[in-house]
């Protein structure tokens, strides 16, 4: 895996994800990105369900998406992800590459945060897990 990313998740386009224009609808990319983030979180011990049970409510505060190349029916692709912790934010840099030619399809920055006891705040359990990932990457 490229050193700039912490996680990769492969997908295949499903026909029902394509729209009138014969390409993946632009909203579906947010589904791909969410699924890759949740799989990444589980891979570092952070299950979305467990986090919510602890009273931590993570949510997306901001999404910036640059669409580069449209994905089509049956295309294979990979979502690559890098995470950063900054103040009360957990920031995910997520890029999508078509396979096998690695053509860039989407570049995105997904800024998330969490609500604890009704207030915007980061959760220790999340911050520690993320810092461990960042440490590992910079080795």
3-state SS record for 6-69 = CEEEEEECCHHHECCCCEECCCHHHHHHHHHHHHHHHHCCCCHHHHHHCCEEEEEEEEEEEECC
Judged by beta carbon, residue 14 or residue 54, the one nearer a second copy is 14
Phi-psi region of 31 (alpha: psi -120 to 50; beta: other; left: phi over 0): alpha
Q: How far is the CB of 32 from a second copy (least distance, A)?
A: 9
What does the binding site for a second copy look like in residue numbers (CB under 8 A)? Answer: 14-16, 18-23, 25-28, 30-31, 34-35, 38, 42, 47-49, 52, 57, 59-67, 70, 73-74
Q: How far is the CB of 33 from a second copy (least distance, A)?
A: 9
Judged by beta carbon, residue 110 or residue 133, the one nearer a second copy is 110
Judged by beta carbon, residue 64 or residue 101, the one nearer a second copy is 64
């Amino acid at each position: 895996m490229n050193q700039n990313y912490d996680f990769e998740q492969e997908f295949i386009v499903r026909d029902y994800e394509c729209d009138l224009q014969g390409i993946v609808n632009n909203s579906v990319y947010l589904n791909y990105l969410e699924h890759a983030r949740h799989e990444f979180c589980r891979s570092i011990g952070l299950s979305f369900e467990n986090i919510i049970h602890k009273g931590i409510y993570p949510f997306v505060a901001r999404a910036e998406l640059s669409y580069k190349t449209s994905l089509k029916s049956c295309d294979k692709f990979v979502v690559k992800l890098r995470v950063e912790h900054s103040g009360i934010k957990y920031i995910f840099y997520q890029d999508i590459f078509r396979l096998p030619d690695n053509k860039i399809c989407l570049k995105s920055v997904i800024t998330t945060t969490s609500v604890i006891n009704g207030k915007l705040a980061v959760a220790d359990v999340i911050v520690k897990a993320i810092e461990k990932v960042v440490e590992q990457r910079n080795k």
